[in-house]
Structure 1
């Protein structure tokens, strides 16, 4: 008994939370520094606006090669999602944030100096790897450093910060493209700025979070099995991200194909998406309080409607409306999935189940160019513009799966109530 008590005291003495600011401006800056990580999470996908401009320098490149400029970096993201947790416990979470943001800068900016498209795409994998390292940390550090309502509030801000970062980066790219698209790579100096913010305002004590394994054998025996909802959430993310990816890889090319919407205007539409995502995230909790988990169906339906509008109209006004639908739908779907995979979990497995959702999204984000090529070979539809209707088809599949899952879950709940 004495040994156990002593061990517990030692753990309290080594509690890294004691090294974090408890109040005042330093605590505010810590929150801001953690939230700054989320600003970078869309820095790969929003570069879709330059895909059509790449054709100027690489006229012989195929549509898939141009699309891979955006999607191949996701390979680095997938790998980092799988191994990043192990790095965090060995080298420290603050250190991992610094490494991730620096890799984002290197992989985003230095392709500017590579004359080959394949070389640029390959180097951008480093940016994807860096984002994969900081993606889970942008959320887990909030749970690590803050508790209760404070943590809940910051999680909402984190979702909005993703949209804010996409807005800042995409609008900057749009501005640069109106001058000379070749300089859009400079937008990745924003990652270097986040690196400095992390170094200055996240205490070194954060490196000790999670380093000591305080889990006893008894705690390990109490760990719950991973619920089916976690695997279902991962499946939803794969299908959803694939359909969403048809917008990512083809919107700029589709705009050029219409003959009435320019690449610069398409970049502006992407900015509208980012702004809508930012604002929509602020009201997610309020909307969910009225519609419950049906918000998943609503969110995906908005995505599908946006893709159909893009794939069947040539009006810039209609494209802007679709941008609003897609932005709001996206920022509602992501927290919906995170809630879904954690509905039947406890703290011992919540991080693991949430990682399934991130992994599914990364895998789905990599698939679109190949899905586009395969479906094009089967259907004969090789138009980037009309392919957006295929993306809407993926959204329809997601809706059907959610409805089936909700009905099945309701039946199980009713059966348990009768048995009880």
Structure 2
């Protein structure tokens, strides 16, 4: 079924919500300086607490999509996002800021799995769907880059005002209300002329879903370390101020944007070997960051790392849309979104964990150990992919 350009534009514009944390990344050092009395948990919650809330609500949104139209749920999500995001720039104490950030995460938890589920519902051809998901992810990165750069420059004079960037939710809300088709709840959807709430349903492939989720957890957790901690890394290395941090953050999202625009082509060629590629390339990026290099190699490492993240995000979403039965697509998207949310929430704590286990004393040393971890993941992925290909070849010959 063909869908109009304005519907595609509306769906793709929703991707900005997942990049709300791009506004916060350049502000980390200033938030810590403004609230030095706050506990480490409170400080980290402002940075990645949205991911924790998104995780919990994502699972609920998948269930809600069984009973309510995705359009109605998305309207609620963007309304909440606009209010919480804008109010974040008006409050002047850490408790209220934490509450607003938490509500922003609730909105993200509603929006992300529903938008991705809508793509799977409206675009059934794998090539077209992977293309839309790639563009969705690419534009998510583009939004993130623009938001990060803008926040970095605004933060030079007033870091709280950077939160007003979240007002972009208002035009997206209007597009959703006016142009998005009202699809029926998933329990009422027919798939290939068979009602999904019929007595016989295709079972959810638990093993495949688990494998995809575990891979996504490690990839996202380790990538988000540099995403969230780029400000601490730049400050520790004395490479620049908040404007430089904003630019470097945007380079990562530039890499994601670039890979998203061509993801469909890459995916159709690499498929099961995609995880091996992005794990190993991200390991190389962290290895560069562990060295005493200048701003240009750091920038290149950020671009490559962002491209790896963009490729991995699109890959996991496409894989979920492929393995999940029609009646459970939103549930699958909710699960993978929750996994990504958990990994984003845990990412700021990874440095402390590595420092404690390996007795490390600098963020650069930690990045070397993260590179080794990623290389191990890439090697395991290659072994499993080769094993899967061998099994497929063997079964085809029988």
TM > 0.5 between the two? yes
Residue 185 in structure 1 maps to residue 163 in structure 2: yes
Residue 258 in structure 1 maps to residue 234 in structure 2: no
Alignment match, 2:19: 42
Distance 1:152 1:232, change over 3 A: closer
Residue 105 in structure 1 maps to residue 82 in structure 2: yes
2:213–2:336 CA contact under 8 A, matched in 1: yes
Deviates more, 1:95-104 or 1:356-365: 356-365
Deviates more, 1:294-303 or 1:368-377: 368-377
Alignment match, 2:172: 194
Alignment match, 1:361: 340
For 1:377 and 1:295, the matched residues in 2 are separated by 32
Q: How is 1:292-311 mapped onto 2 (pairs within 5 angstroms)?
A: 292-311=271-290
Output one character per residue of 1:130-184: Cα deviation in whole Å (capped at 9) or x when no partner.
1111101222222333454655543332222211221221122123124332311
Distance 1:142 1:287, change over 3 A: closer
Distance 1:105 1:403, change over 3 A: same
Give the Å deviation of 1:51: 0.4
Structure with more relative contact order (C-alpha pairs < 8 Å, separation 6 or more)? 2
Give the Å deviation of 1:47: 1.8
Output one character per residue of 1:321-363: Cα deviation in whole Å (capped at 9) or x when no partner.
0111012111111222234445655535555444433222122
Give the Å deviation of 1:231: 0.7
Deviates more, 1:243-252 or 1:367-376: 367-376
Residue 54 in structure 1 maps to residue 31 in structure 2: yes
Q: Which of 71, 85, 88 lines up with 1:94 in the alignment? A: 71
For 1:114 and 1:256, the matched residues in 2 are separated by 26
Q: Which of 239, 248, 252 lines up with 2:218 in the alignment? A: 239
Distance 1:311 1:46, change over 3 A: farther
Question: Unpaired runs of 5+ in structure 1?
Answer: 1-16
Alignment match, 2:188: 212
The alignment yields a C-alpha RMSD, in angstroms, of 2.8
Alignment match, 2:46: 69
For 1:289 and 1:33, the matched residues in 2 are separated by 26
For 1:277 and 1:63, the matched residues in 2 are separated by 30
2:90–2:160 CA contact under 8 A, matched in 1: no
Output one character per residue of 1:107-137: Cα deviation in whole Å (capped at 9) or x when no partner.
3222333333244123211111111111012
Q: How is 1:104-253 mapped onto 2 (pairs within 5 angstroms)?
A: 104-148=81-125, 151-203=129-181, 205-206=182-183, 208-210=184-186, 212=188, 216=195, 219-253=198-232
Q: Which of 383, 387, 396 lines up with 1:408 in the alignment? A: 387
For 1:324 and 1:288, the matched residues in 2 are separated by 19
1:241–1:361 CA contact under 8 A, matched in 2: yes
Q: Which of 75, 79, 82 lines up with 2:56 in the alignment? A: 79
- 3-state SS of paired residue (1:71): helix
Output one character per residue of 1:259-307: Cα deviation in whole Å (capped at 9) or x when no partner.
2332321210111111221111112232344444323211122222222
Give the Å deviation of 1:238: 1.4
Bigger Cα Rg: 1
Question: Unpaired runs of 5+ in structure 2?
Answer: none
Give the Å deviation of 1:219: 4.7
Distance 1:112 1:216, change over 3 A: closer
Provide the TM-score with structure 1 as the length reference.
0.84
Distance 1:217 1:42, change over 3 A: closer
Distance 1:394 1:81, change over 3 A: farther
- 3-state SS of paired residue (2:88): helix
- 3-state SS of paired residue (1:254): helix
Provide the TM-score with structure 2 as the length reference.
0.88
- 3-state SS of paired residue (2:153): helix
- 3-state SS of paired residue (1:320): helix
1:306–1:325 CA contact under 8 A, matched in 2: yes
Deviates more, 1:178-187 or 1:231-240: 178-187
For 2:64 and 2:244, the matched residues in 1 are separated by 41
For 2:240 and 2:292, the matched residues in 1 are separated by 11
Give the Å deviation of 1:390: 4.0
For 1:411 and 1:141, the matched residues in 2 are separated by 35
1:33–1:202 CA contact under 8 A, matched in 2: yes
